Amino acid sequence: MIENKVAHEILYIKDFGKGMHRRTAKIKLLENDVTREDLQNLTRDIWLEHGQDVDELVTVFYLPDMDTSSVSYAFGGCMKGKGCYVTVVK
């Protein structure tokens, strides 16, 4: 169980890639007031729970009122041996 202070819903987790095994987690945030650090911690937590068997986990974040079939609010990711990152779209 992920214990992160950011209220969220995982919409789906999907694998992709042939040469490099990757996984994408699409996340709907349930609150607007989140920091880059919150998103990075959430990305790391999801990586620890759902990404240990892949080379890279990518997180795609949406704010509560955003259309999840459109542009996202932020992207994050973790790679084996390289750590985690978050990029907020402005």
Render pLDDT for 35-78 as a digit per residue (tens, 0 to 9): 999 999 999 999 999 999 999 999 999 999 999 998 899 999 99
Model confidence at 23: pLDDT above 60: yes
Instruction: Say how many Å lie between the first and final Cα of the chain, rounded.
Output: 31
Tell me, what's the pLDDT at 5?
81
Model confidence at 4: pLDDT above 70: no
Structure tokens at 80: 């084996």
Lowest mean pLDDT among 4-8, 11-15, 28-32, 38-42: 4-8
Class of domain 8-88: alpha beta
Burial per residue of 22-32, b for 16 or more beta-carbon CB atoms within 10 angstroms, e otherwise:
bbbbbbbbeee
pLDDT confidence of 1, banded at 50, 70, 90?
very low
